[in-house]
Amino acid sequence: MFNYEFPPIGGGGGWVSYFLGKHLANSGHEVHLITSRFGKLPKNEVIENITVHRIPVLRKRKDVCAVHEMMTYAISSTIHGFRIADQFQPDVVQVFFGIPSGGCAYLLEKTNNIPYVVFLGGRDVPRPNPDPPYYRWLYLTLSPIIQSIWRSASAVVACSKGLRELAYHTNQSIKIDVIPDGLDLHRFFPIERNPDSTPVKILTVGRLIPRKGFQFLIQALPDICKQTNIDFRIQIVGDGPYRSELVELAENLHVTDKIEFLGSIDYDNLPKKYQEADIFTLCSLAEGMPLVVLEAMGTGLPIIASQVQGITDLVKTGINGELFEPSDVKQLVKHLVKLIEDGEKRVKMGKKSTELAQGYDWKNIAQSYSELYEQVIKIEK
């Protein structure tokens, strides 16, 4: 497996490789993963029966990886990947994000005839109006490479239907399967909630970068305060380079008393934060399939989120939550006010979220990947 991010560094994509690798290893497969070295993390270790190889890269932050830093992984993983593949002799290679993780797999297929599967997770798929905007030029430059990696793969997997449709805008000739991300149902489970509890706690989780849309949530607060008398609090879990701008925005709008910036929280403690909340919101401008929405659903929360790829697969309007157009602050205000004021509806939607989450058990998702690998290996033989 190749993934430039793996816990404790990075975001949701790293956790996908962790859970998939864990379940594959526990079912009897031998799993090796090549990821980025960071800080004092060991070069090699075994985590949940996954043999993790951390290779040298340039990376300044634990939570965010710049484009030039990703490219150092692309080079380093190619150099070290051949050595590890020679020792390990894999039957199939799993790539998380064609760029920056697909280069070595592509070359291994060309030189050693080792099949590989590409996971599409989000910004690795070209899109017309990316955030940040300079990605438009990156997509123009990298699109031929991205398409070559997809075409040479034995299988391409998108984590959501919306992301598959977006990928088809780049290349319609490639068959793309959809296997969603999964959820650890033993870790993220619901509790009984009091519909009359106050203050109403609204939780949001993610890396503090512009694409995640925390600025829109903060911009919504003055109007929410005007439209409801019920006490509420926003809890923001996560860290990143955009934090200072978000804090300044809250100060300028005089809503700091309504927001708690909780910073990064250890993954083992994250379920408790979901269970303490009453509403979950995610205002992203783009996603693949956000694990945080699945986690919120598993813990029984109603979801108010932007209508982007991946989220639309999870949130059923009027059933377990509401959707709004990305960056539309007025729609966000409307949906949040309604749920802040209607505790019974919050609880009812939260129970629907729990029901819908049952279909995303990681055991089932890992089994889908295992069956795909068997098909790929059979065809190659």
Q: What structural domains and CATH numbers belong to the chain? A: 12-182+361-380 (3.40.50.2000), 200-360 (3.40.50.2000)
Backbone angles phi, psi at 307, to 5 degrees: -85, 80
Q: Give the CA distances from residue 17 to residues 48, 114, 150, 342, 345, in Å, rounded to whole numbers and listed in that order.
A: 12, 20, 19, 38, 35
Q: Give the CA distances from residue 67 to residues 60, 365, 378, in Å, rounded to whole numbers and listed in that order.
A: 12, 30, 36
For 292-315, the DSSP string reads HHHHHHHTT--EEEE--TTHHHH-
266: Cβ–Cβ under 8 A, 6 or more apart, which residues? none
Q: What is the DSSP letter of 183?
A: B
Spatial strand order of the sheet with 93-96 comes to 93-96, 116-120, 155-158, 176-178
CB atoms within 10 A of CB 312: 18
Q: Using 50 as the pLDDT threshold, list the residues of the chain that sit under it.
A: none
* Bridging pattern class, strands 155-158 and 116-120: parallel
Q: What is the structure's pLDDT at 122?
A: 84
* Partners of 33 in beta bridges: 52
Q: What is the structure's pLDDT at 381?
A: 59
Q: What is the structure's pLDDT at 140?
A: 87
- The pTM assigned to this predicted structure is 0.90
- Among residues 171, 77, 166, the alpha carbon closest in space to that of 121 is found at 166
